[in-house]
Amino acid sequence: MQAQDPELLRRLLRAKDRMDAASHEEWPVRRLAEVSHVSEAHFARSFKEAFGVPPHRYLLTRRIEKATALLRDTDLSITEIAFQTGWNSMGTFGRTFRDITGESPGELRARQKSASHQLEQVPNCYVAAAQRPGLTIAVSEKRRREAGDTMASDESEEAP
């Protein structure tokens, strides 16, 4: 992998910052490419190379982080949290949340409430880093692996 042009990195960071500031909004590659002033294909390829994940996966991670913080720190309903963090469907929110975190939003909230007193002595930046969802594979790939259909992923790993 070669080093990316500093000007391109600044443009990619501009798009990443926009996603961070408004993760509840829709961010199709077309919109992100416009923010970065590059083509859609170049943006998608360069973003993944620069940040290690595709733009959509990065956005999902931000949304899950925000939802987790709201579940932990507020008494908002799970429905309100889903809509505030950018999901249009409770089913999609719940399924994606469980796929990424391993538990439902309600289960996470209950666990966080019961364990909150244990984390009071730990700096917030450490807690946030430890709770950041590890979304290194696509959600659909994770579902396929959990369902036992590893044939497709095994073949792709053996390809040159």
The closest alpha carbon to 13, from 40, 37, 1, 79, belongs to 37
Tell whether 20 and 97 lie within a shared domain: no
pLDDT at residue 121 in the model: 65
Tell whether 13 and 81 lie within a shared domain: no
Tell whether 141 and 95 lie within a shared domain: yes
Which residues constitute the domain of residue 142?
Answer: 57-151
pLDDT at residue 8 in the model: 95
Indicate the average pLDDT of the chain.
85
The number of CA neighbours under 13 Å toward the Cβ of 120 is: 6
Give the span between the Cα atoms of 86 and 96, in whole angstroms: 12
pLDDT at residue 128 in the model: 72
Q: pLDDT digits over 20-55, tens only? A: 999 999 999 999 999 999 999 999 999 999 999 999
Model-level pTM?
A: 0.69
Tell whether 94 and 143 lie within a shared domain: yes
pLDDT at residue 145 in the model: 78
Which residues 6+ apart lie within 8 Å of 20 measured at CB?
62
3-state secondary structure of 75: coil
